[in-house]
Structure 1
């Protein structure tokens, strides 16, 4: 039986989905046949959050059993938003966030992405959280994972020296993080 990983892409359109497909392929290759990486296209809806919360919930519900959640960029921040604003019944084995923006500011277009001040308290308890971010990311500055680390002291934050926003299209490091847990849940 396969272990399930749901990967939520960054950005809001088909070009972003295509760009992250290389990341997904790299992750699937690194994880091997024991894992099934689900990679749904989430269409851009005309809501402040692009419809992401609803779409993420729908795709989580499609997967039977325990699930690992992986998000890149906007997808990572929307996973945090979904998990902190929605009651989850499904068992989540781990949350892996890559190049995650910490949204702030008063601009109207950002309001659907900004987390509530108490978001950290609302996340599911006992779910291991990993934040990976390249120091040379030109899309999302390196201070963003530092802001998350202040809110999420139990999160494991990894600074990657080089790789840019797309991690050089190589998620083998993330696959190695997931693989040690192949025979048991990340949750204890």
Structure 2
């Protein structure tokens, strides 16, 4: 049976179809057989609301099996980390892979929608491998954000990728290699 992957898109008008679909296609190519990627359209991608996306994610989690891999890009990663930190899951996650996520809180971006967690590692399920990726050429989210997450999730593996943009130049080979390494 194929290993399940849930890919959570970023925010912005047209992101699902015009931007993050390229990341999903690259990940599918890089992983090959043996992986099944779910790529749901998140509600209101052009004007995202944390409560709506949280509800959508919790519904998606219900359809996943233990060991499923969670991958998220940009604002989708921010929301995913906060949902996982807020609410323990019945699901045993096989790994968390977050790409170019804005950090909300001190040193990052302000938001009234999120709690300001200083230490996510105490709130995330123990033993879940966490990988954080950020391109050094990201013009959307400063690279400093990945270091803020690294401080809040000390056990995370951090990969800053040279000359890669917010979309990692639509090259998910590094992410695929790490996914294969955890399961």
TM-score normalised over the length of structure 2: 0.90
Q: Give the whole-Å Cα distance in 2 for the aligned partners of 1:144 and 1:49.
A: 19
**3-state DSSP of counterpart to 2:121:** helix
- Backbone CA RMSD of aligned residues: 1.9
Question: Structure 2: which 5+ runs fail to align?
Answer: none
Residues 118-129 of structure 1: pairs in structure 2 closer than 5 A: 118-129=119-130
User: Is the Cα contact below 8 Å between 2:98 and 2:133 reproduced in 1?
Assistant: yes
Question: Structure 1: which 5+ runs fail to align?
Answer: 183-188
- Partner of residue 172, structure 2: 171
1:173–1:162 distance in 2 versus 1, CA, 3 Å: same
TM-score normalised over the length of structure 1: 0.87
**3-state DSSP of counterpart to 1:5:** strand
User: Is the Cα contact below 8 Å between 1:31 and 1:179 reproduced in 2?
Assistant: yes
Residues 108-147 of structure 1: pairs in structure 2 closer than 5 A: 110-147=111-148
The total of aligned residue pairs comes to 178
- Partner of residue 185, structure 1: none
User: Is the Cα contact below 8 Å between 1:66 and 1:91 reproduced in 2?
Assistant: yes
User: Is the Cα contact below 8 Å between 1:48 and 1:113 reproduced in 2?
Assistant: no
Q: Is 112-121 or 171-180 further displaced after alignment?
A: 112-121
Deviations 1:23-77 (A, max 9, x none): 0010011111100011000111888415111111101111233210000000111
**3-state DSSP of counterpart to 1:64:** coil
User: Is the Cα contact below 8 Å between 1:12 and 1:50 reproduced in 2?
Assistant: no
- Partner of residue 61, structure 1: 62
